Amino acid sequence: MRRRPLLRWVFLIATLTLAACARGPVDHQQTLLVFGTLLEIKAFTDKPDAFHRAVADLDQTFQRMHRVWHAWKGEGELVRLNRAFAAGETLQISTELAELLRQSQHYAELSDGLFNPAIGHLVGLWGFHSDEPPGGPPPDRESIQGLVDAAPSMADIQFNANRLSSANPSVAIDLGAFAKGYALNLAIRRLSDFGLAHAIVNAGGDLCVSGSHGDRPWRIGIRHPQGDGVIAAIDVADGECVLTSGNYERYREYDGIRYAHILDPRNGYPVEHVASATVISHDGALADAAATALSVAGPSRWREIAARMGLSQVMLVDEQGKVYLTPVMQQRIEFQRTLPEMIIGVPGSDGSM
């Protein structure tokens, strides 16, 4: 008789525990404002506390990186480094920034200089070192040509451990084409450190994932470069990142002409022929650098640059909506609308297309 209440408690606790287990993992989601963009972090987990701690940690990390890596605002490390380069001086920088710059130097070389984060002065000249979209006429030809002739290149940077100098004073680093991919890699790693192995981190359509969404893969949409909506859907596997560069993202408009924020370092002018370039890779930083490089490469050189950068999953959309893609990309992508034309190309450099 006396054991009954105790039994009842044991039964109740066991039931509650089972109920908690049966609930299992669910979606937890939070959005941060970092790098001037909204970063959506989602984890499929039964550890809400770990999720909230991880998000707070990432928020702090990203706010700090934003200050340190900013190309033109404040007194961060990158602003000081660019000043040192201009003055022909040497500057000791953090290991983290040095690592970021070493990686971007490597990708700049792989891309044959089409991804070139040393063209900060050119980006500034076109008015993209501003929170507001630039207005007015484009810069004059002479100023553009002057910066092109100065030929700033990542190869000009000399590393002596973390002490950096540039042989060319026109080098000014702008990490706008690269930092997001690097940060997405970091976010996925950090979530995993907090025991969150099933996550998606999405900054305006650029994303990396880990694990899966329960018994299904994470599924995402790739934004159509012209107008609203989605051009394609895709299942993203554990560890993959999907990065897109688009000339629709930021531009300068004057006299009915749009000047994109992605510049061709060879002539100093915004790219015209490509509306967007999408890359899937296990490395978000590589994918970010490559998406920018492929936007510059355009329909005539995209296969060559994809091969040089070791990519097998690439898609370009041109100004007419024509789609160029690799066979691996074609196999997995699900287009959500009829395309005017689809051209499949294997990465390589035989010069055609």
Contacting residues toward ligand AMP, per CB under 6 A: 115-117, 119, 123, 128, 174, 176-177, 245, 249-250, 261-263, 265, 288, 291-292, 296
Question: Which residues sit at the interface with Mg ion, rule CB under 5 A?
Answer: 177, 245, 288, 291-292
187 binds, among ligand AMP, Mg ion, none (CB under 5 to 8 A by kind): none
CB 106, min distance to Mg ion, A: 15
Do the beta carbons of residue 260 and residue 237 sit within 8 Å?
no
User: Closest-CB residue for ligand AMP?
Assistant: 176
Do the beta carbons of residue 213 and residue 219 sit within 8 Å?
yes
110 binds, among ligand AMP, Mg ion, none (CB under 5 to 8 A by kind): none
318 binds, among Mg ion, ligand AMP, none (CB under 5 to 8 A by kind): none
CB 290, min distance to Mg ion, A: 8
CB 278, min distance to ligand AMP, A: 11
CB 284, min distance to ligand AMP, A: 11
Which residue, 196 or 243, is less far from ligand AMP as judged by CB?
A: 243
DSSP symbols for 92-145: E--HHHHHHHHHHHHHHHHTTTSS-TTBHHHHHHTT-SSSSPP-SSPPPHHHHH
User: Closest-CB residue for Mg ion?
Assistant: 292
176 binds, among Mg ion, ligand AMP, none (CB under 5 to 8 A by kind): ligand AMP
Neighbours of 190 (CB within 10 A): 18
CB 178, min distance to Mg ion, A: 6
Neighbours of 166 (CB within 10 A): 27
115 binds, among ligand AMP, Mg ion, none (CB under 5 to 8 A by kind): ligand AMP
Residue type, 16: L
CB 12, min distance to ligand AMP, A: 55
Among residues 257, 272, 212, which one has the least CA distance to residue 237? 212
**First CA to last CA across the chain, in angstroms?**
87
Residue type, 212: S
DSSP state of 327: H
Which residue, 138 or 176, is less far from Mg ion as judged by CB?
A: 176
Which residue, 210 or 276, is less far from ligand AMP as judged by CB?
A: 276
CB 152, min distance to ligand AMP, A: 11
125 binds, among ligand AMP, Mg ion, none (CB under 5 to 8 A by kind): none
DSSP symbols for 233-256: EEEE-TT-EEEEEETTSSEEEETT
C-alpha atoms less than 13 angstroms from C-alpha of 346 in its C-beta half-sphere? 2
Rounded Cα distance between 187 and 201, Å, is: 7
172 binds, among ligand AMP, Mg ion, none (CB under 5 to 8 A by kind): none
Rounded Cα distance between 95 and 32, Å, is: 25
